[in-house]
Structure 1
Amino acid sequence: MSPIYNEFTIEIATTDFESTKNAVAGGADRIELCANLGEGGTTQSYGVIKTCRDRFDVPIYPIIRVRGGDFLYTEEEFACMLADAVNCKDLDCDGVVVGFLKANGEIDVERTARIVEAVYPMGVTFHRAFDRCRDPLEALEQIIGAGCERILTSGQELTAIQGAPLIRRLNEQAAGRIIIMPGSGVRTDNVKALAADTGCTQFHSSLREMIPSKMKFSTPAFVNDAESIRHSGIDPAKVTAFKKALV
């Protein structure tokens, strides 16, 4: 398959080695490597991160997150995430994805900056914790000051389509100082319009679908159990179609 070249960058959120392999085969420009996307993404295992880094040439950004839920972490949780971030640097990843808030809804600038410093010269994306912050325009300046290179956001709405007006405003205020990357609900049939509405050039999607299990045997009690008969995955053709939609 011939490469697709355009002015846009597509980042695909993957959940394991197989989905990463398929996303790369479909033409993903960058990978956000996660586990547990149903919880918003948590840090994958050492083995998965290392194998993906060894096998694929595209930029790989593991998410650094110890649990689902909110983005207010204890000192012990932060220590775990700092260690995971440094581990990704040691594995020669291209960057990490993080997000820290204070209880009052402000960006935890100190913790964000500590991660940026610890993994330098790797890149750092501030993820959709941003969509739960108190003042997104102030937060934008704080995240720039902390040294992040990118913000993943749905414009503080459930989907980036709904949040497009704020995303455009953020992109205009950023003025090239940081990348604003729309994510959440971004699909092949709406990404072109989202690009026009926001002025953004990088887009994030998971393109997840359920893949049937290849198991031939199942015990009776689990014959209809969703986790036993299917798992989350990515079709390379869907990634290619997503990229082509921006050409």
Structure 2
Amino acid sequence: MQYAMKKNQLEIACFNYESALIAQENGADRIELCENMKLGGTTPNSILVVKVRESINIKMHVIIRPRGGDFVYSDEELTEMKQDIKQYKKLGVDGFVFGVLKENGKVNKKQNKELVHLAHPLSCTFHRAFDVVKDVEKSLEDVIECGFKTILTSGQGINVEEGITVLEKIQKLAGDRIEIMPGGGLRSSNIKLLQEKLDLTFYHSSAITNGSEIANPEEIKELRNFL
């Protein structure tokens, strides 16, 4: 299988510099760097990207999302996203996380393909915009066609527990064509449930347990123990 891995791996969503250091120190395989947790994560500023890249040696993906809210972007916002991808490619990041939809809830194949092409040869993850698409099966095929390597999704549930049936379904439909990465309310308390249903994959968590915006090192260790 093209995307098969020898073991489950762990990606930590980091909203600040401190969390990135904690993620590396406690066994994360990769981070997703973003800012503005209350908005669901937006594009981090370049100063933070440089600072984190210089401080960690595990893989670092960067979210490209100019604002919170929906995933339908204006021409100006799309231009901003393209500029960020071009700039951050030069800073040594390992991949990008984004997703563009149409107003009707379908995947915007044209705009996503433009961004994936611009990011090449770095890998791209279609983020949780997938959780609000209208047709899961058609959207899965569209995202694959766009050239993404991974889909980050809760299975369209409030969290991964609620979405486990959809996660299981789309992973089977995807086969070895794209990796399905469960994320959204994923914690050490429920990861075992997912492992019973899903094949080897990356697991995505902020590992935040106390209402702050800082990853909990003990939670990362606990997640790591399950993997």
User: TM-score by structure 1 length?
Assistant: 0.87
Which runs of 5 or more structure 1 residues have no equivalent in the other structure?
1-5, 212-230
Contact 2:53 2:92 (8 Å CA) reproduced: yes
The answer to whether 1:242 aligns with 2:208 is no
Q: CA deviation at 1:100?
A: 0.5
Q: CA deviation at 1:37?
A: 1.4
Structure 2 SS opposite 1:177: coil
> Comparing both chains, which one has the higher relative contact order based on Cα–Cα distances under 8 Å and sequence gaps of 6 or more?
2
Q: Percent identity?
A: 37
Q: Name 2:169's counterpart in structure 1.
A: 169
Contact 1:100 1:111 (8 Å CA) reproduced: yes
Contact 1:42 1:66 (8 Å CA) reproduced: yes
AA matched with 1:131: D
| Dislocated runs of 4+, deviation >2 Å | none
Aligned residues: 222
How do residues 33-48 of structure 1 correspond to structure 2 at under 5 angstroms? 33-48=33-48
Distance 1:158 1:82 in 2: 30
Q: Name 1:51's counterpart in structure 2.
A: 51
Distance 1:167 1:108 in 2: 22
Contact 1:22 1:234 (8 Å CA) reproduced: yes
Distance 1:17 1:170 in 2: 33
Distance 2:206 2:102 in 1: 28
Deviations 1:219-241, CA, capped at 9 Å, x for gaps: xxxxxxxxxxxx52122222111
> Higher Cα Rg: structure 1 or 2?
1
Structure 2 SS opposite 1:233: coil
Structure 2 SS opposite 1:77: helix
Distance 1:84 1:186 in 2: 28
Q: CA deviation at 1:199?
A: 2.6
Q: Name 2:213's counterpart in structure 1.
A: 232
Q: Name 2:3's counterpart in structure 1.
A: none
Q: Name 1:28's counterpart in structure 2.
A: 28
Distance 2:87 2:208 in 1: 27
Provide the alpha-carbon RMSD of the alignment. Answer: 1.3
User: TM-score by structure 2 length?
Assistant: 0.94
Structure 2 SS opposite 1:232: coil
Q: CA deviation at 1:56?
A: 1.0
Q: Name 1:110's counterpart in structure 2.
A: 110
Q: CA deviation at 1:200?
A: 4.6
Distance 1:19 1:202 in 2: 19
